[in-house]
Chains A and B, each alone.
Chain A
Amino acid sequence: MRSDAELLDAWRGDDRAAGEELFTRYYPLLLRFFANKIAGDPTDLIQETFLGCVAGQERLRDGRSFRSYLFSIAYHKLRDHYRSQRIDGLRFDPSRQTAADLSPGPSTMMGENTQQQLLLHALRRIPLEHQIVLELFYWEGFTSSRIAELMEEPSPTIRTRLRRARQLLTTALEDSATDPRVLEETLTDLDGWAAKIRAAHANPAS
């Protein structure tokens, strides 16, 4: 099996079969990356990301995998996408705006169960750069220094952001359990309140 770096080189040399093989390897990961961050059709962004890899001049040095190169481009394409949109005339600010602010509407990604659904929902409600750091760390298995490299920021900044992101996610999750606005859009765990409602109904005096 040819390595990612070999396939990329071949694709840059106009070997389409190599390009297709590389595309097939990484398409699912990019689909997941974008599906959780924009509500619309991610086709264009995925295309631009792959084209960005082909157009790039960078050789994949030792220690830098194609995967982190790919995510670095995907991250920048996502930023460009939101910059050009200028939601509500505001400047794009991934340290404040969340995926839910930037791309309202139900996500195309659905959790397999209620718990998962709530968690994914909370994830879209923390600032975008915090969401991305968490996903790259926990879902893609990148180290914080690798994330720093691909987001082009200092390592300590990323480590601080990772810590902060965990706090924000915990808070967002707690909020989503009682916020009717959240519940409008997602499945909910009805355990707690169903019991309360039944109790209240049985004892109207209480």
Chain B
Amino acid sequence: MPEDDDDFDATVMPRAPSAEELAAEPEGRRIQAELKARLFGRPKDVVRIGRYPVDRKLGQGGMGTVYAATDPDDGRPVAIKVVRSDDGRAMRRLRREAKAMLKLEHPNIVAVHEVGEGPEGLFMVMDLVEGQTLGAWVEPGRPWSQIVALGIEAAEALGVAHGVGVVHRDVKPDNILVDLEGRAQLLDFGIAKPLPGSEDLSTFTEQLTRSGVTPGTLAYMAPEQLLGLPIGPAVDQFGLCVTLFEALHGAKPFEGHTIDAVALAIVQGDIISVPDVDRVPERVAQVVERGLAVEPEHRFDSMDALIQSLRAAAEHANSPSSSGEGG
């Protein structure tokens, strides 16, 4: 302990993360192998997840780590997401849903080729999609019609997943990729942990904390998710409509300076007012706002219903009779 210890609360200083554990993770092992090759001329040990040699780490989120790897059969690049949790129930659900994803083939869903388990945790082997996130794609004043078209593709993919009993739970711009052909590619189905649906406040908050929600996700979370109520496919409709609102209007529908304020705006349905100069056709904006209804039953009945309304609104705006609208 320091000789000049003042009022320092020792719990404030994080316990040291274990250096040995860091070194034992796939990324730690990869770097070690690389360095042994560079410093000592060792042949480079290949670090594998399952049977896939790891090339590099792509990213890390609250829920897991994503690696770029190679399919040993055909040399194709793949992305491997590794998820680990101490919560046995959450892991069982993740495993079940990951396996359901194996059967899903859709042009707008990033294909899952293999689900496995190893010392690193549960891993999912997926196509490595080249492209950008919807958030990046939308940046330089994308016309509303393109955004709506992309939203329809994403909605179709979600509808197919709902058909086999998989709710995405974490629809947001980072989870919708736009590939090099300009098609939407949905990522990370069923990865988000469910928020517990407990009516008992003490267990609810405890479980919520333990379930490790990433707050980047908060702005896209449906009221029933935030409140820990039972959730269904309507949460995906909500998340998609928050994403579309932000892409179309350039601002998130629910704003606040603190995390509490954002969450309150969501559960109370306080949508910001969009500027008058907004170029988005009124009808399109109305469809998106219906998807943001606080009560799930006030949203569209299904992804199909949302898609039909989006199409109709876009066609109306593009028809010659609706002058003054459209871009």
Q: Spell out A's residues near B (CB within 8 Å).
A: 16, 19-20, 23, 27-29, 31-32, 35, 41-43, 46-47, 50-51, 106-112, 114, 116-117, 119-120, 123, 134-135, 137-139, 144, 159, 162-163, 166, 169-170, 173, 178-180, 183-191, 193-198, 200-201, 204
Question: Known contacts A166-B8, A191-B205, A195-B205: does B60 contact A23 (CB below 8 Å)?
Answer: no
12 example contacts (A-B, Cβ-Cβ < 8 A) are as follows A20-B39, A41-B56, A46-B35, A108-B27, A114-B209, A180-B256, A180-B257, A180-B262, A187-B62, A188-B259, A190-B205, A204-B268
Task: Using A28-B23, A31-B23, A166-B12 as known contacts, say yes or no to A108 and B60 having CB atoms under 8 A apart.
Answer: yes
Alpha-carbon distance A51/B35, docked complex (angstroms): 11
Say yes or no: B23 contacts A200, CB within 8 Å.
Answer: no
Decide: B14 and A198 in contact? CB cutoff 8 A.
no
Q: Is B201 an interface residue (CB 8 A)?
A: yes
What is the CA–CA distance of A163 and B20 in the complex, to the nearest angstrom? 29
Closest to B223 in A: A201
Chain B residues closer than 8 Å to A27, beta-carbon distance: 23, 32, 35
Interface of B is mostly: helix
Q: Could you tell me if B209 and A43 are in contact, using CB atoms closer than 8 angstroms?
A: no
B227 near A50 with CB under 8 A, answer: no
15 other A-B residue contacts (CB within 8 Å) besides A19-B39, A31-B22: A27-B35, A32-B17, A41-B57, A47-B38, A106-B59, A108-B27, A110-B60, A111-B17, A119-B13, A180-B258, A186-B215, A187-B213, A188-B213, A191-B209, A198-B227
Give complex CA distance A188, B34 in Å.
34
> Which residue of A is nearest B257, CB measured?
A180
Cβ-defined contact, B60 with A194, below 8 A: no
Given A188-B215, A190-B205, check contact A170 B17 (CB 8 Å).
no
Contact status of A183 and B2, CB under 8 A, knowing A114-B209, A204-B268: no
CB <8 Å contact, A111 and B212: no
* Chain A contacts for B60, CB-based, 8 A: 106-108, 110
Expressed in whole angstroms, the Cα–Cα distance for A185 and B15 within the complex equals 20
- Which among A134, A180, A194 is the interface contact of B208 at CB below 8 angstroms? A194
Interface residues of B in 211-234 (CB under 8 A from A): 212-216, 218, 226-228
Of all A-B residue pairs in the complex, the 8 with the closest CB atoms, nearest first, are: A119-B14, A183-B215, A28-B19, A139-B16, A28-B23, A166-B8, A32-B19, A193-B260
* A159 closest partner in B (C-beta): B4
| Shortest beta-carbon distance from B250 to chain A in Å | 18
For the A-B complex, the count of residue pairs with Cβ-Cβ distances under 8 Å equals 161
Say whether B204 faces chain A, with CB atoms less than 8 Å apart: yes
* B131 proximal to A (CB < 8 A): no
Give the distance to chain B from A68, nearest Cβ to Cβ, in Å: 16
B36 located at the interface, meaning its Cβ lies under 8 Å from any Cβ of chain A in the complex? yes
* B 266-296 to A, binary, CB cutoff 8 A, 1 in contact else 0: 0110000000000000000000000000000
- Given contacts A169-B12, A184-B215, are A20 and B40 in contact (CB under 8 A)? yes
B28 at the interface (CB under 8 A from A): yes
CB pair B267–A201 under 8 Å, yes or no, is yes
B263 at the interface (CB under 8 A from A): yes
Q: Is the CB of B34 within 8 A of A43?
A: yes
Please, how many angstroms separate the alpha-carbon atoms of A16 and B38 in the complex? 12
Tell which of B28, B57, B206 touches A31, judged by Cβ atoms closer than 8 Å.
Answer: B28
Q: Does A109 lie within 8 Å of B22, measured CB to CB? A: yes
- Report B60-91 residues with CB < 8 Å from chain A CB: 60-62, 65
| B9 contact from A162, A170, A200, Cβ within 8 A | A170
**From residue 175 to 233 of chain B, which have CB atoms closer than 8 A to chain A?**
201, 204-206, 208-210, 212-216, 218, 226-228
The answer to whether A43 and B35 have CB atoms under 8 Å apart is yes
Nearest to A182 among chain B residues (CB) is B215
Q: Is B264 close to A, CB under 8 A?
A: yes
Q: Is B130 an interface residue (CB 8 A)?
A: no
Are A190 and B257 closer than 8 Å at their CB atoms? no
